[in-house]
Amino acid sequence: MNSAQLCGLWLLAASSVLPLAASLASAHPELLEAPLTQISQLEEISKFRSGAGHDFSYDASFPFGASDSTEPPSSMKHYLAPLPAYSGDRVTIPVYAPLAGVITRVTEETNGAIVNKRVEIVSTEDPSYLLILFHIDLNEAYPQILEDWPIEFWPSHQEDDDSYVTTTVAPGDLLGYADMRTGHDFSEVRTNNSFAQRCEPRAHDLA
């Protein structure tokens, strides 16, 4: 599968977050213009709504999961698992912006002493679409904290970083590198590390 086909796969998978009737009634725009990473470095990719990683079933007290109670137990992400030769650090696997957009939120992800970023990018072409990237060692040109979750949801809330160059990204821009220093969610059901991405209509994002 070449990079153009793979990007198409990521985008088409986003249609499944809409009600079935809505998915049949309208096609999603072709927003992705560049591969998310070096495809040759990947061993496998989980399916959207797979059993890999976190269960994002609906929970009224948890605003980051499925949008309604009809969602079965499943993951709301894709997990991209690299070949073993490319695991173990945070300087090997590049993460590129696959679309034109604006970074609207950057928060911290922690695993013990290891800290990396969760990055949200809103599409410039269609702002109703939001791309979310997890476990990224983010380039310092971009804000390291931006619009962190409200303290009532996130007790470790941090104030915005004000020493960055830009929040605008173009297709193919290097955002940073996947943090592969420890296993992430996909490694709970497989034996290798992974990083994750999610592309969905923004209506399902926390307002």
pLDDT in tens, 142-169: 999 999 999 988 889 999 999 999 999 9
pLDDT at 143: 98
Domain count, the chain: 1
pLDDT in tens, 112-149: 899 999 999 999 999 988 899 989 999 999 999 999 99
Q: Is the pLDDT of residue 1 over 90?
A: no
Of 148, 106, 126, 105, the C-alpha closest to 201 is 126
Q: Is the pLDDT of residue 9 over 50?
A: no
Across the chain, mean pLDDT equals: 77
DSSP assignments along 92-143, one per residue: SSEEE--S-EEEEEEEEEEETTEEEEEEEEEESS-TTEEEEEEEEEE-TTS-
- Provide the whole-model pTM: 0.76
pLDDT in tens, 166-191: 999 999 999 999 998 875 445 544 43
The DSSP symbol for 156 reads T
- Residues spanned by the domain of 71: 3-203
What mean pLDDT comes out for the span 15-34?
A: 59
Higher pLDDT, 96 or 65: 96
Q: Is the pLDDT of residue 202 over 80?
A: no
What mean pLDDT comes out for the span 92-102?
A: 95
CATH number at residue 48: 2.70.70.10
Q: Which residues contact 110 (CB under 8 A, 6 or more apart)?
A: none
Q: Is the pLDDT of residue 30 over 60?
A: yes
pLDDT at 88: 87
pLDDT at 17: 31
pLDDT at 54: 72
